[in-house]
Each structure stands twice: as structure tokens, then as C-alpha cells.
């Protein structure tokens, strides 16, 4: 716990402000339920003030040269790195993740600023000659962007939006998650300290149904970049339709992990453990369903169990902790329900399936990493997004069967495959229905490559050059020579 309560704020027009109503909410540490800090609870009216500030700042920022914008973004990246420890500690306290992971998240956000500082310079147009006219194609910033983010990676997922938006010449209003808004606000404050002009970067807090909804429905915002639940994404898509707004939606996942007969089982088990349990399974690209070839399933399962049982769970501020608490009691309860449903339908519990014992775990939302065997697709754990630390294993006979099972979902964010055979890797990668395929790796995030979902996992792409394009509009200027 911090020595004193941290007092957070909103950022509007370059100023640190409280909500017009004066209302505040207390943020609690999910490891101990001790108070971490206070944040203002904004309303639609606060959101409107922020949107107006972003609109005022837009003309000057959009006309600032890409070199100048890059200078400020690089400066901000350096400052974020300097402040890593401070921001990371706040993140661990409000979100629960181990400090080493919080530091990595903050550093990754700084890298994002550096990457888009340079990518913003590669906003090229086109020039086409056609008889007595010429066509000039320009890419121009779309306008004020509304950036709405979830609690599982509150700093990084905001950086995925903030960096390309600013590099493209957009100004923005961000709405961090209501129960983990402090570190994200510190991150944006750092950008302002690095020299962003007033109003280019704004942050408002408050309920999604009010503050988030205003950002979506206001005629001022021209682009909505959202990461969160599929249900919320549907609402945003429907409400952005009224003004045909540009939208990018990064939504839920239910990622399969296929282990082929010829896979390096040690590497596969280690990679699978990490991707199933890191951040307590609260990652949109977590491993949610494991399909193991029946010839190696027992061996793979034994190795997975070995790796799982080595994980140390505890308060994220303690050194050498691999897993912290879950983010909330609601998340833990959903996990319990999914495990109970699977066990009632015939799954076997190999480890976990309960809270850890001891005084250190009494108050936090802890849950042991859990491995289930003998699961099938009648179980909720294989169909819905659990967002919890559970690795359910199912066996398959042929690769075609594994691919069909992997695709038997409404989601399509990430899919993983472990094999040593190039033909198998290509055959499966071309048939798996997901925006990111990891072959012999457990992560489909790479700063220079597009990230996003198929099916109900989303629309649009973040990261890479596509991430910048998401904040640009295309304009064709046709120039006739005959006056
Ligand atoms: P959520 O949808 O409940 O909330 C996300 C954000 O939207 C919050 O800031 C919330 O306040 C806001 N919001 C809620 N209702 C709104 C509305 N009507 N209008 C505008 N904004 C509104 O999601 P969450 O519980 O914070 O996050 C977990 C979800 O995020 C999971 O489903 C996970 O898979 C998904 N996620 C997806 C990705 C991805 O890249 N695809 C990454 C991380 C998390």
C-alpha cells in the first residue's frame, strides 16, 4: 500500500482537473483490498469539455510537421522510461499484476511511442498522371479520436492507440478503465510533460455507460478506438453507426493452442503455461483451449503440470512472484463457475481449481492456476471467454479435426500451433480462423505487425503501419491543367 492515498485527476486542455460534480471513487488493490487512491468520477459534461479541448487543439497539431511530432513522441518515450518504476508500482497496486510485468508493460508503452514517432514520417501519399490531369492522394488525420481501454493492460493498450493517433496528427480523449485508471493517467500526463500542446491529449474518468457513451455518441469524435468486451464492442458499433464513425474494435478471444505429434513438447509446455496463466489468464490472447495430439497428450500434460506447479503466486509487489491476484471478485467468480461447469460435465481436475490457502491470500482475489483434462465443447470453458487462469486439455486424432475444433468458436483473435513440420505449419496457419497465428511461439503481438481479430473478436488493426492508417482518411485531389 502507498504511504498516502494517491489522488488522481482528469486531464483536460493540459490541466489536471477534478470532476465538475466533485465526485470521487476509491480504487482498491485486488491483492489486499486496501485503498490505493482516489479518482474523479466524471460525467457526460466532463467528457464534452474534454472533447471540445481536443477539437480546439486539432488544427494546430494536425498541421505540425511529422518531424516535430516525432521529437515530442521520442521525448515522451524517454520520460516514460524515466518514470517506469513509479508508473509500474501504481499499475501493480491498482491492477494486481506482478511488478516485473508492470514494468515490462510501461517499457513497452515507451517503445510504442518511439515506433510511431518514426512511422508517422512514413505517411506517404500517391501521385498519378492521367492525360491533362493529375491525381494526388493524401492521407490526412481523421480528427478527434476517442480512445477507450480495458483494465487488463491499462497502460500498454492505451499506448497502442495514443501513439499512432498523435503520430497521425489526431488529438484525443482517452477513457481508461473505471477500476484501474491511475497508471494510464500518469502515462498520458508524461506525454503532456514532454511537450504536447494543451488539449492534444485529454483523459476523462467515469462509468463507461456515461463517459464512454458520450465519447462514442458526440459529433466531435470522428474515430473510436476501443479495446474491451465483445458485448461492449457491439454497443459501440451500433451507436457509432448513427454518424458513420470510423471504428476499430479489439474484442474478446478464445484462443486455441494445438500441440502436434512432432512438436518440441518441452518448449510447447513452457510456452503454453506462460500464455495460459500470465496476467492470471486475463489477456485477450491467453491460451483458452489446448488440443493435444493423442499420441503425445499424456507426455505434454505431464510437462504442462510440472511448469504450472512451479509458478509462484502472491501480492504483485513481492519479489519473484509470477502471478498476482485476479482483477476482481467478478472475474474470480466467473472462473469458478466455468471450472464447476466443466467438472460437472465430466472434466478431470489435474491441479488448482480453488483459492490458495494462507493468511496472505485471505483478502485478495487469488485463484490457483488450474489444469483440466478430458474437456469437450459442451463445456462453457471451451466456448466462452473465461478470462481466468485455466488450461483445459482435449485430445485429437488428425490435424483436420484439431483445426475444425479450433475454429469452432465465434471468436478469432489468436491461435497457436506447435509443430516441427513446415508443411503442417503452413497447412494449419492458412486454415485457422484468427487474426494472429503463432507457430512455435506463444505471442502474436509484434510492434511492427498488424494485430486484430477475425469474426467477433473485432474490426480493424492496431500496431504496425495498419495501426497508423486507422487514424488517417484518404483524400483524392484531382488537378486539371486546363483552366
Ligand atoms: P469492458 O468492455 O467492460 O470495458 C472496456 C472499456 O469500455 C472500459 O473503459 C469501460 O468503462 C468502457 N465502456 C463500458 N461500456 C461502455 C459504453 N457503453 N460505451 C463506451 N465505453 C464503454 O471490458 P473490460 O472488462 O474492461 O476488459 C476485458 C475485455 O477486454 C475482455 O473481453 C478481453 O478479451 C478484452 N480485451 C481485448 C483485447 C484485444 O486486443 N482484442 C485486449 C485486451 C482485452
The predicted-structure confidence for 255-266, as pLDDT tens digits, reads as follows 999 999 999 999
Q: Report the percent of the chain where pLDDT is more than 70.
A: 99
Q: How far is the CA of 328 from the centre of ligand 1 (A)?
A: 14
Predicted pLDDT of residue 164: 98
Predicted pLDDT of residue 483: 80
Per-residue pLDDT at 241 exceeds 60: yes
> Between 156-168 and 99-119, two packed helices, what is the crossing angle to 10 degrees?
10
Which residue in the list 75, 250, 384, 385 is annotated as catalytic? 250
Read off the pLDDT band of 344 (50, 70, 90). very high
Query: What is the C-alpha to C-alpha distance for residues 203 and 146, in angstroms, rounded to an integer?
Result: 10
- Ligand 1: residue of 159, 208, 455 to mutate (most ligand atoms within 8 A of CB) is 208
Give the residue whose CA is nearest to atom 39 of ligand 1. 250
The predicted-structure confidence for 168-201, as pLDDT tens digits, reads as follows 999 999 999 999 999 999 999 999 999 999 999 9
Q: How far is the CA of 155 from the centre of ligand 1 (A)?
A: 14
Which uninterrupted H or E stretch holds 107?
helix 99-119
Per-residue pLDDT at 2 exceeds 70: no
Per-residue pLDDT at 3 exceeds 80: no
Does 170 participate in catalysis according to the annotation? no
Cross-strand bridge partners of residue 136: 127, 477
Predicted pLDDT of residue 1: 45
Record the cell numbers describing residue 424, joined without a space: 503442417
> Between 84-95 and 66-82, two packed helices, what is the crossing angle to 10 degrees?
70
Pairing verdict, β 472-480 and 133-141: antiparallel
Predicted pLDDT of residue 4: 73
The predicted-structure confidence for 29-79, as pLDDT tens digits, reads as follows 999 999 999 999 999 999 999 999 999 999 999 999 999 999 999 999 999
Per-residue pLDDT at 160 exceeds 50: yes
Q: How far is the CA of 344 from the centre of ligand 1 (A)?
A: 30
Per-residue pLDDT at 312 exceeds 80: yes
- Ligand 1: residue of 232, 242, 411, 412 to mutate (most ligand atoms within 8 A of CB) is 232
Pairing verdict, β 348-351 and 370-373: antiparallel
Does 260 participate in catalysis according to the annotation? no
Range scoring the smallest mean pLDDT among 1-5, 230-234, 345-349, 409-413: 1-5
- Ligand 1: residue of 47, 94, 228 to mutate (most ligand atoms within 8 A of CB) is 228
Which residue in the list 170, 260, 272, 284 is annotated as catalytic? 284
For the segment 269-283, the average pLDDT, to the nearest whole number, is: 98
Q: How far is the CA of 233 from the centre of ligand 1 (A)?
A: 8
Q: Is 473 left (phi over 0), alpha (psi -120 to 50) or beta?
A: beta
By residue count, the chain amounts to: 483
The predicted-structure confidence for 418-429, as pLDDT tens digits, reads as follows 999 999 999 999
Closest ligand 1 atom to the C-alpha of 249? Answer: 41
Query: What is the C-alpha to C-alpha distance for residues 300 and 308, in angstroms, rounded to an integer?
Result: 12
User: Which residue segments constitute the domains of the chain, with CATH numbers given?
Assistant: 6-251+457-476 (3.40.605.10), 255-446 (3.40.309.10)
The answer to whether the CB of 34 falls within 8 A of the CB of 212 is no
pTM, full prediction: 0.97
* CB-defined site of ligand 1, < 6 Å: 148-152, 157, 175, 177-178, 208-209, 212-213, 216, 227-229, 232, 235-236, 250-253, 284, 385, 387, 413, 453, 457-458
Q: What angle do CA 10, 37, 28 make, to 5 degrees?
A: 120
Per-residue pLDDT at 473 exceeds 80: yes
Amino acid at each position: 500500500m502507498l504511504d498516502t492515498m494517491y489522488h488522481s485527476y482528469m486531464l483536460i486542455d493540459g490541466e489536471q482537473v477534478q470532476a465538475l460534480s466533485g465526485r470521487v471513487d476509491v480504487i482498491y488493490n485486488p491483492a489486499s483490498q486496501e485503498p490505493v487512491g482516489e479518482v474523479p468520477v466524471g460525467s457526460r459534461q466532463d467528457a464534452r469539455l474534454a472533447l471540445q479541448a481536443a477539437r480546439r487543439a486539432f488544427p494546430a497539431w494536425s498541421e505540425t510537421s511529422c518531424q516535430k511530432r516525432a521529437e515530442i513522441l521520442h521525448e515522451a518515450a524517454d520520460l516514460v522510461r524515466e518514470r517506469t518504476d513509479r508508473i509500474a508500482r501504481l499499475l501493480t497496486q491498482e491492477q494486481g499484476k506482478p511488478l516485473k510485468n508492470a514494468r515490462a508493460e510501461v517499457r513497452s508503452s515507451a517503445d510504442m511511442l518511439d515506433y510511431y514517432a518514426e512511422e508517422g514520417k512514413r505517411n506517404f501519399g500517391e501521385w498519378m498522371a492521367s492525360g491533362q490531369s493529375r491525381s494526388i492522394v493524401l492521407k490526412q488525420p481523421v480528427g478527434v479520436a476517442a480512445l477507450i481501454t480495458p483494465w487488463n493492460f491499462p497502460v500498454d493498450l492505451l499506448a497502442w492507440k495514443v501513439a499512432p493517433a498523435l503520430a497521425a496528427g489526431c488529438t484525443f480523449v482517452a477513457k481508461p478503465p473505471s477500476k484501474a485508471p491511475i497508471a494510464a493517467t500518469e502515462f498520458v500526463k508524461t506525454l503532456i510533460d514532454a511537450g504536447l500542446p494543451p488539449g492534444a491529449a485529454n483523459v476523462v474518468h467515469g462509468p463507461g455507460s456515461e463517459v464512454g457513451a458520450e465519447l462514442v455518441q458526440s459529433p466531435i469524435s470522428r474515430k473510436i478506438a476501443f479495446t474491451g468486451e465483445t458485448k461492449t464492442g457491439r454497443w459501440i458499433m451500433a451507436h457509432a453507426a448513427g454518424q458513420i464513425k470510423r471504428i476499430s474494435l479489439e474484442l474478446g478471444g478464445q484462443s486455441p493452442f494445438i500441440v502436434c505429434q512432432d512438436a518440441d513438447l518441452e518448449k510447447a509446455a513452457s510456452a503454453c503455461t506462460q500464455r495460459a496463466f500470465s496476467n492470471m489468464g486475463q489477456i485477450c490472447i491467453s491460451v483458452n483451449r489446448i488440443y493435444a495430439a493423442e499420441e503425445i497428450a499424456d507426455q505434454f500434460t505431464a510437462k504442462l503440470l510440472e511448469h504450472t506447479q512451479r509458478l509462484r503466486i502472491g501480492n504483485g509487489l513481492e519479489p519473484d512472484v509470477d502471478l498476482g491476484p485476479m482483477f476482481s471478485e467478478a472475474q474470480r467468480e466467473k472462473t469458478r463457475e466455468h471450472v464447476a461447469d466443466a467438472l460437472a460435465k465430466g472434466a478431470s481436475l489435474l491441479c488448482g481449481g480453488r483459492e490458495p490457502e494462507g493468511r496472505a491470500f485471505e483478502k485478495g482475489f487469488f485463484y490457483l492456476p488450474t489444469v483440466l483434462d478430458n474437456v469437450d465443447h459442451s463445456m462453457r470453458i471451451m466456448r466462452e471467454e473465461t478470462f481466468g487462469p485455466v488450461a483445459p486439455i482435449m485430445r485429437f486424432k488428425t490435424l483436420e479435426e484439431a483445426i475444425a475444433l479450433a475454429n469452432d468458436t465465434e471468436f478469432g483473435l489468436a491461435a497457436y500451433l506447435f509443430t516441427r513440420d513446415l508443411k503442417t505449419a503452413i497447412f494449419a496457419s492458412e486454415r485457422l480462423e484468427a487474426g494472429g497465428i503463432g507457430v512455435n511461439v506463444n505471442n502474436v503481438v509484434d510492434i511492427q505487425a498488424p494485430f486484430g481479430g477475425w469474426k467477433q473478436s473485432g474490426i480493424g488493426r492496431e500496431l504496425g503501419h495498419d495501426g497508423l492508417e486507422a487514424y488517417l482518411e484518404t483524400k483524392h485531389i484531382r488537378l486539371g491543367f486546363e483552366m
